[in-house]
Structure 1
Amino acid sequence: MSAPAARDDRRTLGLVVVGLLAGAAALWGSGSAPWFTVDVPTATRGTVAASATGAQLQPAVTAVAALLVAAVAALVALSGIARRLLGVLVGAGAIAAGGLTVGLVVVPPTPAELASARAGLTAPNAPEGVGAVTATPWPWLAVAGAVLALAATVLLILREPRIPRLGARYSAPGAKEQVAETDPDRAAWERLDAGGDPTVGPREGEN
């Protein structure tokens, strides 16, 4: 494989890794931020603004973020059909996280549902909010992270045959023989492994 092609393949691997890590960071950051707020009456402080985070409302967001990080560790060691299956799995997770987030933005939770998610209560026991539930921009960060992760997995699936594994080496044909010729110690060990005498140089025609 030529040097320019090898560099291009490593660049593709780098883009996939960066896309997955960026998607994971966006999903995790979004899941840790408040997605919706609502005014809730209290007995001592009057009406206060209560909010629920993305992880409280949609745990799949942070779960997919963890999946993306794990996928980065796996994809550099896998190859072939296993790596493509990993891409399909991660892509499905990204689609699920993005789709569930968009669905929640389109149909926001009710004040009781929001209070339930925040307090961990069942809906009938949750305090009713007053006023409308207000969405923050943070859910769209999760959507952006899901899109980034999906784009990275599509690139992985399409270019998988040319993406190197971690530690893979590219060398021109005949490089191994050249190393053996220029490294006497290595050549001696190779002759010993082949059952020959390491103290005797290669006979004519062995190479």
Structure 2
Amino acid sequence: MTAGGAVRDDRRGLGIVVLGLLLGAAALWGSGTAPWFTVDVPTATRGTVAASATGAQLQPSVTAVAALLVAAVAALIALSGIARRLLGVLVVLGAGAAVALTVRLVAVPPTPAELASARAGLNTGGAPEGIGAVEATPWPWLAVAGGVIALIAAVLLVIREPRLPKLGSRYAAPGAKAPETDPDRAAWERLDAGGDPTVGPRESDN
């Protein structure tokens, strides 16, 4: 039990938190590696080409938060109590920032010239007026969805932490049967105490 008397038996809640963080990380990473905006750009040597920029190129925080979420899942094994809650707050801040920055970028897309410059080695031939209109793809919304999922999981972690079990530790429900003693281990313990390991506990008491 915790100091407040709560039993750390909410394994389903812990599973939801872990699953939410992993899904959020996968969505953010997948979105970050996909093209977010495309534009037709006239070049000096290849004519008009379709240039695109990925989420990681335009908003590096997306993949950075994805890495944070994976690290947070690993940290759940070692942390508990206030440390776990601080971890949840950190994830809330990171996921919230990723969502806010992505929505802002979708609301105010990069200019054609900015998007063209995001593609390394692309020569526009000094004619930015010939660049077409910027077109958005659906991939930024995957980042928004992943950030929201991670945000919900982190809030659940902060709120439910006193009931979430510590990974790697054993928790017995009230009234559960105590584990049986290993006979070999009990014999060695009696030998260390100066008793006869061939005699059972009840016989040695007589």
Give the TM-score of the pair, scaled to structure 1: 0.83
> After superposition, what is the alpha-carbon deviation per residue over 1:74-131, rounded to whole angstroms, capped at 9, x for unaligned?
112211011111111111100011111011001111112112222279xxx9873622
Instruction: Give the distance between the partners of 1:57 and 1:126, measured in 2 at CA.
Output: 22
Q: Does 1:26 align with 2:24?
A: no
Which protein has the bigger helix share? 1
CA RMSD after TM alignment: 2.6
- What's the offset of the Cα at 1:179? 1.4
- What's the offset of the Cα at 1:190? 4.1
Instruction: List alignment gaps of at least 5 residues for structure 2.
Output: 2-6
Other-structure match for 1:188: 187
Instruction: Give the distance between the partners of 1:127 and 1:150, measured in 2 at CA.
Output: 43
Other-structure match for 2:51: 50
Instruction: Give the distance between the partners of 1:151 and 1:184, measured in 2 at CA.
Output: 48
- What's the offset of the Cα at 1:196? 4.8
* Contact 2:40 2:49 (8 Å CA) reproduced: yes
* Contact 1:116 1:126 (8 Å CA) reproduced: no
Structure 1 vs Structure 2: percent identity of aligned residues? Answer: 77
Count of aligned residue pairs for this structure pair: 194
* Contact 2:11 2:164 (8 Å CA) reproduced: yes
Spell out the pairing of 1:169-188 with structure 2 (5 A cutoff). 169-172=170-173, 175-176=177-178, 179-180=180-181, 183-188=182-187
Higher relative contact order (CA closer than 8 Å, sequence separation 6+): 2
Please give the secondary structure, in 2, of the residue aligned with 1:118. coil
- What's the offset of the Cα at 1:140? 0.5
Other-structure match for 1:88: 89
Instruction: Give the distance between the partners of 1:29 and 1:198, measured in 2 at CA.
Output: 65
Give the TM-score of the pair, scaled to structure 2: 0.83
Please give the secondary structure, in 2, of the residue aligned with 1:44. coil
> After superposition, what is the alpha-carbon deviation per residue over 1:38-94, rounded to whole angstroms, capped at 9, x for unaligned?
111112222121110000001110010011011111112211011111111111100
Other-structure match for 1:35: 36
Please give the secondary structure, in 1, of the residue aligned with 2:168. coil
- What's the offset of the Cα at 1:192? 5.3
Other-structure match for 1:130: 131
* Contact 1:191 1:198 (8 Å CA) reproduced: yes
- What's the offset of the Cα at 1:162? 1.0
* Contact 1:16 1:153 (8 Å CA) reproduced: yes
Spell out the pairing of 1:1-207 with structure 2 (5 A cutoff). 9-119=10-120, 128=128, 130-172=131-173, 175-176=177-178, 179-180=180-181, 183-191=182-190, 195-197=193-195, 199=197, 200-202=199-201
> After superposition, what is the alpha-carbon deviation per residue over 1:150-207, rounded to whole angstroms, capped at 9, x for unaligned?
000011111111111222222255744x512xx32232344456x4536254369x9x
